[in-house]
Amino acid sequence: MVYCGKPSKGCGECRSRKIRCDQAKPACSQCTRAKRDCPGYRDQLSLMFRDESKSVVRKVTAASTLKNKRAERLPRTAVPEGNPVRSELGTPVVDPGFDFNSDPQHIYLMRQFEGFPLEIHPSQELETAKYEAVCYFMRSNALPGSFWTSEIMSNFLLQSGGPASQRAMQASVVATATAMLSRVRHLPSLRDVAHREYGSALRLLNVALGDIEEAKTNQTLGAVIMLAVYEVITSRATKDIESWINHINGATALLDIRGTDQLKTNAGLRLFLHLRYQIIISCLQRDARVPESLLECTKLVTFLQPAEAHGNCLTMILAKLSNLRADIRTNMYENEGEIISAASAIEADLIAWLAALPPEFNYTTHIKSPFDFTFQKRFRGISSYDDQYHVYPSQWVCTSWNQYRSARIIVSDIILSHVRRISDSSSVTSLSEEFRLHCRTLRLTIHRLAVEICRSVPFHLNVHQTQKDPNLPPPESYLGGLVILWHLFIAGVVENPRHGLRRWVVKCLESIGHTMGIDQALAVADIVASDPGSLNCVTEEED
């Protein structure tokens, strides 16, 4: 039964003539004076509530038929019956070909989410916005291999109430989702909602951390990860990046107390793999040592998933690089030669990793057609760098390549900078011709890798995507924007501030910040714009 509002009480003749009816009995005065037969009055109760069941069924059937016809025209990945799809990380995930917004589990999940009523009324605009924000966030991040697929997130969000860790996870999701949507759609009111939910999540986290068993749960770790994402979205000033680092440090501490038991479940493994990358990036940024607990868990993952050896091997190399930077900062080496030797060993590890890559890591380079007038629009208002861009088999492969490129740039910069110190403190002739040639090669390598990072950006932002691909996030996803920030920073600080590559990177970061609602991209753009450039600091003698 559906409430249809208050109907008119006038007789049929008065209603048809649109005149006032005095509702006299047995006939209204207007009909009596005009000597017309009064048709009488309607049953008010039957008009106020009508049975719309048949109409609803008819509409749903028609919509379902139309949707099925559209689905038949869309490409869909074939999935063997009864077998889960295997992600790049080697863990089973839900069928990536499903329509996330129409999935019954997803609809039920969203309706059960605490604070969101089953029926949304016009007077509940704020609740509607929160509901929409969470649905948008879930759909934007429904990517195989991500810890926030519906399979994993349903375990976190399906139950309302529950322990503090459960409620902290829910509040952190709402905070992150509303913060993102407020920036994308320029809704200041949602920023206040996000801030309140963020505070609520922090209070609930403190309660959860007071109980050692609660602190070990996936919900507690997931809430910390979500709050770290919140900081990436909302940190506009460069000093605010520290807030993201603080959350990553907190998550690192949780990894220590969780131990290797966290790898026994699918959700725990996904959480670890997602957090592992964030921790290493944080350590590289701060010149800090990578926690031993992370390395031990990575070794176990390598044993449990031998098919993913390339990704785990690269992680261990990145950890060695971060530890080298930490040791340099704390003056653990006696002379420049030892530093150059250690950096050269890591460079050799990276080259060996590259040489051992299987064919599925191959990517293609494309030249943008001069007649592709929609490319710049798809690329959020900026043009591709040097009119070339890459296409990779998956987002995970693209990210792995950029991790390698960024690491090669950093280790090459370490070698060049310490060679410069030797040059400044001794005669130039002390450097052999072979080593000076190697330095020139390093500079060319740094520039080439920075260009390759720039060419990978359109793929991260799905510019090339012309059809639905289950291995990629949807076009409105901001996952690519989050992942590419660190690599754009590394590429951007290679050249001097007046170089075309530097200007392109700054513009790209600003575009990500404004169109994706990721404020930290704007902070990184400011840092890149003011950096002197690593290649610009190398002396001419090294050439």
Nearest to 152 by CA among 212, 218, 87: 218
- 482 domain-assigned: yes
Question: What's the CA gap between 279 and 251, in Å, rounded?
Answer: 8
Question: What's the CA gap between 82 and 265, in Å, rounded?
Answer: 20
- 167 domain-assigned: no
- 251 domain-assigned: no
- Is there a cis peptide before residue 39, judged by omega within 30 degrees of 0? no
- 466 domain-assigned: yes
35: left (phi over 0), alpha (psi -120 to 50) or beta: left
- 269 domain-assigned: no
Nearest to 136 by CA among 391, 448, 473, 490: 473
Structure tokens at 239: 């000093």
H/E stretch holding 111 reads: helix 104-112
Query: What total number of domains does the chain contain?
Result: 2
First-to-last C-alpha distance (Å) of the chain: 82
- Report how many helices (DSSP H) and strands (DSSP E) the chain contains, helices first: 22, 6
H/E stretch holding 366 reads: strand 364-367
> What is the crossing angle of helices 309-329 and 395-425, to 10°?
30
97 vs 315, more confident: 315
Residue 94 has pLDDT above 70, yes or no: no
pTM: 0.71
C-alpha count within 13 angstroms, C-beta hemisphere, residue 52: 11
Nearest to 454 by CA among 516, 506, 396, 515: 506
**461 contacts 376 by C-beta, under 8 angstroms:** no
Q: What are phi and psi of 37, to 5 degrees?
A: -75, 120
Q: pLDDT at position 201, please?
A: 92
Residue-wise pLDDT tens digits, 239-286: 667 778 888 888 888 888 888 888 887 778 888 888 888 899 989 988
29: domain range?
1-38
Range picked from 23-37, 64-78, 191-205 for highest mean pLDDT: 191-205
> What band does 429 get if pLDDT is binned at 50, 70 and 90?
low
Contacts of 54 (CB under 8 A, 6+ apart): none
- 438 domain-assigned: no
Share of the chain above pLDDT 90, in %: 27
Residue-wise pLDDT tens digits, 312-371: 999 999 999 999 999 999 999 988 889 999 999 999 999 999 999 999 999 999 998 887
- 198 domain-assigned: no
* Mean pLDDT of the 142-170 span: 63
**262 contacts 268 by C-beta, under 8 angstroms:** yes
**416 contacts 443 by C-beta, under 8 angstroms:** yes
The DSSP result for 45-69, as a single string, is HHHHEE--HHHHHHHHHHHHHHHHH
Instruction: Output b/e per residue, 96-112; b: 16+ Cβ within 10 A.
Output: bbbebeeeeebeebbee
- 300 domain-assigned: no
Q: pLDDT at position 234, please?
A: 87
Nearest to 146 by CA among 474, 411, 370, 514: 474
* Mean pLDDT of the 461-468 span: 58
Contacts of 156 (CB under 8 A, 6+ apart): 166, 169, 170, 173, 218, 219, 222
How many other CB atoms are there within 10 angstroms of residue 514's CB atom?
17
CATH number at residue 16: 4.10.240
Handedness of CA 98, 100, 102, 107 (dihedral sign): positive
